[in-house]
Amino acid sequence: MNFEIKYKDARGRLGILKTPHGNITTPALMPVIHPRKQTIQVQDHGAQLVITNAYLIYKNDDLRKTAIKKGVHELINFSGPVVTDSGSFQLSEYGDLQVSNEEIVKFQEKIGTDIGTSLDIPTPPGVKKEHAQKDLEITFQRAREALEVRNELMLNSVVQGSTYTDLRSKCAEVLGKMDFQVHPIGAVVPLMESYRYKELVEVVMASVTHLPDSRPRHLMGAGHPMIFALAVAMGCDLFDSAAYILYAEDDRLLMPNGTIKLENLHEMPCSCEVCTNYTPEQLRQMEKAERVQQIAKHNLLISFAEIRQIRQAIVQGNLWELVEQRCRSHPFLLEALRTLYNYSEDLEKYDPPYKKSAFFYSGPESLKRPEVYRHLKKLDGISQKKSVLLLPRTRKPYSEHLYGIPLPCYQIKGDEKLQNIPFDDLQVTVVDVPFGVIPLELDQVYPLAQNESPASFDENSLQMVNNVVQKYLKDFKTAFISADVVETFQLQKNYQLKEVHEIPEPLKIGVDDYQRIKMIADYQFGTGSGGALFNRDVDIVKSRKTGKIRHVYDDQELIATLRASDGVFVLAREGARRLHSFLPHPKKRVVVNQDAEPFAREGKSIFAKFVINCDIDIHAMEEVLITNDEDQLLAFGKSVLNGKEILNFNTGQAVKTRKGGF
């Protein structure tokens, strides 16, 4: 299998899948091609690959002879990669096929298919569990048989199990241990046709969480562009679409936010060549065949455009914003998004912690995004001072816009007066949406500084902040909350408010630089890392232009650089040495075999096939240590994949090495 991830966001992957007839950039859409007829030439409109039905070719004498003689690519006039289905759709529709699993697998290889499919048993929603279990056993049997009879053919093996999530997970685990190259998720069309998107999410997540990360996943029958972004966020890489032609035959135009009937169109809905060359009335007056061709072209172009937008969103790091936009186009899609956020713990492991794009709050659902889950989880590992002062939001970064103007605040814990607490002993924290509480030392770290939310808060935001503040204050002996925070977030219902204090003037001095770098390191690498990296005598160098911290030295030895774009540390050699000495094995480590050791020492990037172990909690885009199996530090760099992916992949980069030479 040759599949390599280039960019990640959410569970989505922009990757390269290599096939005998060329490389595929994922996520990718496969137009369905009928072997006997083609309404339009899909390759002319951007199709990288297509899918056709091997069983329809097999059972037609003329098609079969041509395919065997000239190959499936010439038969359907497509030069790129071709995927073939085995006839499982016909089996689900008509209940019987005139071909065996062994015959159809061998036939697909004979006609030059790039990726073939074993003859699984599609089990639709609504069947009894015993029925689904029996079908699953046949699917397993046929999967093993397909592997025995194929030679070089890349093979799909479809995850089945109806709507029973435990069966889907079992199927994914069993098939994932076999030597297949791609895993479609099957029998989900009935869910999409009846707008049961919530169940679709449950089925897909039950499957992808138990499939190998190193193999592409194909969501079968997902041909409507309104579902693409959500499916990609769940980890689906491939889609097949007959919708472009089926909807055209019914005079319906696909759009990323729904479907439009031609009879209701007053203006054309987009800027594709069809919509710019024709008016709705001109389309209505066309002969049926010509109208179908033009609408099908529009449907295909709009579908490809959505796939391109999704790929760009993955690169930019704003896939979640796109998903939330798309899911607000239909109530049942919104329900599906809310269901997906029930999997926040899993999503957080795959979602890169640092991105090019800011976090935009688009509604209550944004509160469940992995970035919020991650921040609140990391806060638990940061040692706090004895006293805390909660302040309202200002312009970002907050520490640069606290002017020292006295503000009234309430005391809700402890007896010590605010004016008697040394400023260095007071943890100043801002209360804001969507991250709840932000210690002032972290106010320049991504995405705590790189986010935007409305000035007026919805009920979900208010409740979330209430819950977060209550949990956060438990660790402090003395606590003060500004009256503005109390009023804005309605905290008076949770606390017995004591006398009003005035915030003392020294607040305007901002954040102590040493305390800032220590807390950022703890937040980034784990509790205690700040103290291990930076002693009290370090030299902190700031940018002359911005006044922000740039470098940290110890006796002219560079320890780390604070990256301006996201406010986190990039290690230097000395920083890597200190972190390696402090963190217990295997924390933040990627362990390579003997073959890769000399290359790592030379500072060359680490490929996944040379990794023998790693910290399973590593995220993509994080600073990591590269060691050998004796835990000797060889190099350090930035992870491309997360820990689970690094261990699962045998192709592509795992770590972009910064420096070796240890």
Instruction: Return the active site residues.
Output: 85
From the number of C-beta atoms within 10 Å of its C-beta (0-12, 13-18, 19+), residue 267 rates as exposed
CB 547 within 8 Å of CB 510: no
Neighbours of 138 (CB within 10 A): 15
From the number of C-beta atoms within 10 Å of its C-beta (0-12, 13-18, 19+), residue 547 rates as exposed
- Nearest Cα to Cα of residue 157 among 172, 135, 167, 169: 172
State phi, psi for 552 to the nearest 5 degrees: -130, 125
- Nearest Cα to Cα of residue 513 among 444, 419, 576: 444
Distance (Å, whole) CA 491 – CA 488: 8
- Nearest Cα to Cα of residue 191 among 157, 233, 169, 220: 220
Spatial neighbors of 302 by CB under 8 A, at least 6 apart, are 225, 253, 254, 255, 256, 270, 272
Helices 288-316, 225-233: axis angle to 10 degrees equals 30
Distance (Å, whole) CA 274 – CA 284: 13
Count how many Cα atoms sit within 13 Å of the Cα of residue 660 in the half-sphere of its side chain.
Answer: 17
What single letter denotes the amino acid at residue 155?
A: L
CB 593 within 8 Å of CB 626: no
- Give the SS3 label for residue 34: strand
Distance (Å, whole) CA 300 – CA 87: 24
Tokens of 545: 């232009």
Distance (Å, whole) CA 308 – CA 256: 12
> Position of tokens 């435990």?
166
Alpha helices in 234-287, H assignment, sequence order: 243-249, 273-277, 280-285
CB 448 within 8 Å of CB 517: no
